[in-house]
Amino acid sequence: MPEPMYSLQDLQYLMQRLRDPQDGCHWDKEQTFASIVPHTLEESYELADAIARNDMAHIKEELGDVLFQVIFYSQLGAEQQAFSLEDVIHQLTAKLIRRHPHVFPSGELHSRAGQQQQQTEQVKASWEAIKQQERQQKQQHSLLADVPLALPALNRAAKLQKRAAKVGFDWNDISKVIDKLHEELAELEQAQQGGDKAEIESELGDILFCCVNLARHLQVNPESALRSTNRKFERRFAYIEQQLHSRQQAIADSSLELLESLWLEAKQQLG
């Protein structure tokens, strides 16, 4: 006989049990909004990794872990009488209806009358205009004010640049971005010769920021590009390790010339 399928309500009840002052889990009872954040970030990265590997079984599992984070925060909110899971779902649904007038022209979830198809660029423009209105309603004084600090630095740089570009603060010629990259590389070399660690770090940051800008102009996601390169490096390095293992030779005892030749083999074999 198949096991019964648990529901969202069951998950909420489980969370309430875990946080029960009398019979709950000691660790779960101690948690706060702030203490859970590192776990939320970790679970999000694990989901992104499973998606990158197209591992459906792990995507399903990691989605559950991310959902549990939402349930946990909502339970904390309910205990503080600040908000409930129902409030979270309602606010999200209302926001998505508001941001998709091309799908919900009447502003109602279940109304299908008068729908019109819009081109992708029109939809993007409408989305950004609505978000700008929302930012104004929140009395945000800077266009960049709501770009989350907790984002990975590459993603945050891309989001900052994209937001600024929406109001015309951007180059319209990719050659200028490449020229700027060469300029930043020269400045890093100069800083390196000077030996000032703070200046070196600053110039290196400028180079990374410029690389993100170049990726944006090339319509490449910088985080995805770097993840892909990381995986490529891992494959090639594993090839080197395997080759040296077959020769019963330790990598630490191998010459740089040998390692470089094996690296070239790995590139030819694995791409």
Per-residue pLDDT of the chain in tens (271 residues, 90 and over written 9): 678 899 999 999 999 999 999 999 999 999 999 999 989 988 998 998 899 889 999 999 999 999 999 999 999 999 999 999 999 999 999 999 988 888 888 888 987 764 555 566 666 666 666 666 666 666 556 788 878 887 889 989 999 999 999 889 999 999 999 999 999 999 999 999 999 999 999 999 999 999 999 999 999 999 889 989 999 999 999 999 999 999 999 999 999 999 999 999 999 999 8
Q: Which of 161, 172, 206, 170 is nearest to 186 (CA)?
A: 206
Contact 211, 222 (CB under 8 A): yes
Q: Which of 94, 88, 93, 165 is nearest to 128 (CA)?
A: 165
Contacts 24+ apart (CB under 8 A), 19-24: 19/75, 19/79
The DSSP code for 55 is -
pLDDT (0 to 100) of residue 137: 64
pLDDT (0 to 100) of residue 141: 67
Cα–Cα dist 63/214, whole Å? 32
